[in-house]
Chains A and B, each alone.
Chain A
């Protein structure tokens, strides 16, 4: 503005033969004013609408942002479609439904989502499984190849329809290892808008070992369903920038949880303090360069909220008391994390589906956090641990 003002009165003729000079001055002034106008207009235009999700809280200009801005489609749909009246199916209930005949005629879809560790004492799906159950491979079928992200909504539609899921289907999930991956799957199903998702309480352990119920080899074939996936519901999924803001606030308060969001760490107590890392021989790909926990997180391992014998979830009020004792304030929302997100889903299931609280899974978990440059980490083991520590691994 000022620039044009001060330059616009172009030199007028001050002597003979100045017409040419005047013309040049006019053109030069016009060009300058035009460029200046363009530059000024450009300088405030929000031409890049992407918001910065760095969330580092540091002063712009003095810091670089390390958290990448990968775009993951989704929306915030709230918790209405997520929370379920009866989130748990008992083995008795399932046995009754099976006695009644075809599950798909009752609009029930039964899915086995298991980890199939060699150490498991449970029968793998390929050998025998609960009657009419279909198998879903948690890694290959849910995720994009060579990318740490779930399949797209369209691909999820395809998967869900091939499993016979309709809009009003009840999806019952179970698996080995205390339903870890079944819970993970239930979270993914909710992420894409499947409304009625239940876990078989106690999972395969309860069915096969505790109840000693029947397993079969038959693989069912079901008619194609008509379910259409929605875009991801990011009200139940936390990403690193969001967690980083919380972590930085907590870190600024000496690791106290002051950010108004509960962080729940599902991993073992030693992993939480940072005393040990992940055994790479067993859990390939889950390792982390840094050991410890996200500042301000409380440590409640998943084992504390299930009955040791049956593998079933404890009664809701007992679960609530356990988390409150650990320091979770249920007036605030909660974010759960573990190593890769599957045990966090188990806790998500307990807190969100059983207790009805507002909970997100940070599925990046420690395998993202503990390998990220620059994020705050609390290590209460008293030692410098991890790749740059004295661990010796």
Chain B
């Protein structure tokens, strides 16, 4: 965005803006009303007392994803295709901020971290070949389908219609993941180490090492940081404010800090961020009821941490989080005229569906997606977060290099 800054065009106000803004305000009002209702009823039967909070955290994420373009697909595409690493800093900063908050929360709950008292509610997962394979599948699926799972959730309200078959594919992928779970678990995951960096090292060393790694990556990425063009002198008036809030991409550092803070809040009050638990749980419940799955899944129902699917018949706080993302990103996209229907064809829909299957399978076997494993995992000082992230990066790097995203959706990406 910042690469080709021209003179700011006049924004004006059209009849369409009125319509869009009215819809956005209605959606926002509905969202707040829903949160108010959940708060007043204490989420009774609808996810519990944290339901309202998680809906609002989801809303915050939706706004940040949309306005800050905190989208792993877009950021990696910029990096590998346009040689623009700027979005990466949002990810790095969100990890740095979140992990410091996690360290503070951990330190009050587990004063002396050891391999015996790994916090079971944080997303600290076994590191095995299955995790690498899952990350690679996820990375390829992301490139082909045009987004990661969280990305599809927020890009759908922007009019990215391919997200519909992609999310359908995700559900199918979850199903395939469940069916292959026994094999993957007993062959690869069972007995794999669960490295938690503070164990035996203390929080300070874990924070320093991760900060060091993030800083090193940040320094290294500077080489792909294109020139920033200046903008003309301007006064911050209502129009400028409107432009900054709704039209211009929010700065990477601001977005990253805010995502990190929301991640801390979510973990402190409820559970780590993740967007797949509710979807995979519903998939699993459906499959169990049809009789395709056993009621009990070894490993999955025992000790594994992550966006683990449980059999559920109700909406969980994770469902509210997802709903918050979808509604808020819609409300955030509309006033900036960012709602644009992208054409869906039979071909690009089927590739999105296929990519979605890979996303779903990868996040089932990997116990989460870019948010649940990569972000919440690195926040929790889990090596699994880093390994999953590296696998996604490698797979998507190759995918973009070979132009899989263009082949999957011809014409969707400007040269």
Residues of A within 8 A of B (CB): 1-3, 5-7, 9, 11, 14, 28-29, 32, 35-36, 38-40, 42-48, 52, 59-62
Are B116 and A44 in contact, with the CB atoms below 8 A?
A: no
Contacts of A38 in B (CB 8 A): 201
Are B121 and A43 in contact, with the CB atoms below 8 A?
A: no
Per-residue 0/1 for B203-215: is the Cβ within 8 Å of any A Cβ (1 yes, 0 no)? Answer: 0011011001100
Are A45 and B115 in contact, with the CB atoms below 8 A?
A: yes
Question: Cβ of B298 < 8 Å from any Cβ of A?
Answer: no
Stretch in contact with the other chain, from B324-332, B382-390, B402-410: B382-390
Given contacts A6-B390, A40-B383, A61 and B109 within 8 Å (CB-CB): yes
Are A14 and B110 in contact, with the CB atoms below 8 A?
A: no
Q: Nearest chain-A residue to B212 (Cβ)?
A: A32
Contact of A39 among B116, B120, B209, B219 (CB under 8 A): B209
Are B383 and A14 in contact, with the CB atoms below 8 A?
A: no
Per-residue 0/1 for B198-242: is the Cβ within 8 Å of any A Cβ (1 yes, 0 no)? Answer: 111100011011001100110110010000000000000000000
How many chain B residues touch A (Cβ–Cβ < 8 Å)?
A: 40
Question: Cβ of B14 < 8 Å from any Cβ of A?
Answer: no
Are A1 and B387 in contact, with the CB atoms below 8 A?
A: yes
Are A7 and B200 in contact, with the CB atoms below 8 A?
A: no
Are A60 and B196 in contact, with the CB atoms below 8 A?
A: no
Contacts of B121 in A (CB 8 A): 59, 61-62
Are B390 and A36 in contact, with the CB atoms below 8 A?
A: no
Chain A CB within 10 A, most for which of B116, B206, B391: B116
How far apart are the CA atoms of A43 and B383 in the complex, in Å? 9
Are B390 and A5 in contact, with the CB atoms below 8 A?
A: yes
Other CB < 8 Å A-B pairs besides A6-B216, A60-B117, A61-B118, 12 of them?
Answer: A1-B387, A3-B209, A3-B213, A6-B390, A11-B219, A14-B223, A39-B201, A43-B115, A48-B116, A61-B119, A62-B109, A62-B121
Are B120 and A43 in contact, with the CB atoms below 8 A?
A: no
Are B194 and A39 in contact, with the CB atoms below 8 A?
A: no
Are A3 and B386 in contact, with the CB atoms below 8 A?
A: yes
Given contacts A61-B110, A61-B120, A36 and B209 within 8 Å (CB-CB): yes
Given contacts A1-B390, A7-B213, A62-B109, A43 and B199 within 8 Å (CB-CB): yes
Chain B CB within 10 A, most for which of A6, A14, A62: A6
Are B216 and A7 in contact, with the CB atoms below 8 A?
A: yes
How far apart are the CA atoms of A52 and B112 in the complex, in Å? 14
Are B117 and A6 in contact, with the CB atoms below 8 A?
A: no
How far apart are the CA atoms of A47 and B113 in the complex, in Å? 13
Q: Enumerate 10 A-B pairs (CB-CB under 8 Å) in ascending A order.
A: A2-B389, A3-B213, A14-B223, A32-B212, A32-B216, A40-B383, A43-B115, A44-B196, A45-B200, A60-B119
How far apart are the CA atoms of A68 and B132 in the complex, in Å? 40
Are A42 and B120 in contact, with the CB atoms below 8 A?
A: no
Contact of A44 among B109, B122, B199, B389 (CB under 8 A): B199
Question: Cβ of B364 < 8 Å from any Cβ of A?
Answer: no
How far apart are the CA atoms of A150 and B389 in the complex, in Å? 55
How far apart are the CA atoms of A46 and B195 in the complex, in Å? 11
Contacts of A62 in B (CB 8 A): 109, 121
Are A39 and B386 in contact, with the CB atoms below 8 A?
A: no
Q: Nearest chain-A residue to B389 (Cβ)?
A: A2
Are B196 and A43 in contact, with the CB atoms below 8 A?
A: yes
A interface, by DSSP: helix, strand, loop or mixed?
helix
- The list of the 6 closest CB pairs from A to B, nearest first, reads A2-B390, A61-B119, A2-B386, A44-B193, A42-B200, A60-B117
Contact of A60 among B120, B201, B208 (CB under 8 A): B120
Contact of A40 among B195, B219, B393 (CB under 8 A): B195
CB distance from A48 to the nearest CB of B (A): 6
Q: Nearest chain-A residue to B193 (Cβ)?
A: A44
Question: Cβ of B114 < 8 Å from any Cβ of A?
Answer: yes
How far apart are the CA atoms of A28 and B196 in the complex, in Å? 23
Are B119 and A7 in contact, with the CB atoms below 8 A?
A: no
Question: Cβ of B266 < 8 Å from any Cβ of A?
Answer: no
How far apart are the CA atoms of A29 and B220 in the complex, in Å? 11
Contacts of B205 in A (CB 8 A): 35, 39
Question: Cβ of B197 < 8 Å from any Cβ of A?
Answer: yes
Contact of A32 among B110, B116, B120, B213 (CB under 8 A): B213
Are A1 and B386 in contact, with the CB atoms below 8 A?
A: yes
Are A61 and B199 in contact, with the CB atoms below 8 A?
A: no
Contacts of A7 in B (CB 8 A): 213, 216-217, 220
Contact of A59 among B120, B195, B209, B213 (CB under 8 A): B120
Chain B CB within 10 A, most for which of A9, A29, A39, A62: A39
Are B220 and A11 in contact, with the CB atoms below 8 A?
A: yes
Per-residue 0/1 for B102-143: is the Cβ within 8 Å of any A Cβ (1 yes, 0 no)? Answer: 000010011000111111111000010000000000000000
How far apart are the CA atoms of A5 and B219 in the complex, in Å? 15
CB distance from A95 to the nearest CB of B (A): 58
Chain A CB within 10 A, most for which of B117, B127, B206: B117
Contacts of A45 in B (CB 8 A): 115, 200
Are A42 and B220 in contact, with the CB atoms below 8 A?
A: no
Contact of B197 among A9, A40, A59 (CB under 8 A): A40
Are B201 and A43 in contact, with the CB atoms below 8 A?
A: yes
How far apart are the CA atoms of A55 and B212 in the complex, in Å? 38
CB distance from B108 to the nearest CB of A (A): 10
Contacts of A35 in B (CB 8 A): 205, 208-209, 212
Given contacts A28-B216, A61-B117, A42 and B199 within 8 Å (CB-CB): yes
Which B residues between 376 and 403 are near A, CB-CB below 8 angstroms? 383, 386-387, 389-391, 393
Contacts of B213 in A (CB 8 A): 3, 6-7, 32, 36
How far apart are the CA atoms of A196 and B46 in the complex, in Å? 65
Are B389 and A43 in contact, with the CB atoms below 8 A?
A: no
Are B195 and A32 in contact, with the CB atoms below 8 A?
A: no
Contacts of B193 in A (CB 8 A): 44
Contacts of B387 in A (CB 8 A): 1-2
CB distance from B122 to the nearest CB of A (A): 8
How far apart are the CA atoms of A170 and B19 in the complex, in Å? 100
Contacts of B127 in A (CB 8 A): 1
Which B residues between 164 and 197 are near A, CB-CB below 8 angstroms? 193-197
How far apart are the CA atoms of A179 and B307 in the complex, in Å? 60
How far apart are the CA atoms of A231 and B198 in the complex, in Å? 38
Are A39 and B197 in contact, with the CB atoms below 8 A?
A: yes
How far apart are the CA atoms of A48 and B116 in the complex, in Å? 9
Contacts of B216 in A (CB 8 A): 6-7, 28-29, 32
Contacts of A6 in B (CB 8 A): 213, 216-217, 220, 390, 393
CB distance from A44 to the nearest CB of B (A): 4
How far apart are the CA atoms of A1 and B387 in the complex, in Å? 7
Chain B CB within 10 A, most for which of A1, A28, A39, A43: A43
How far apart are the CA atoms of A14 and B220 in the complex, in Å? 12
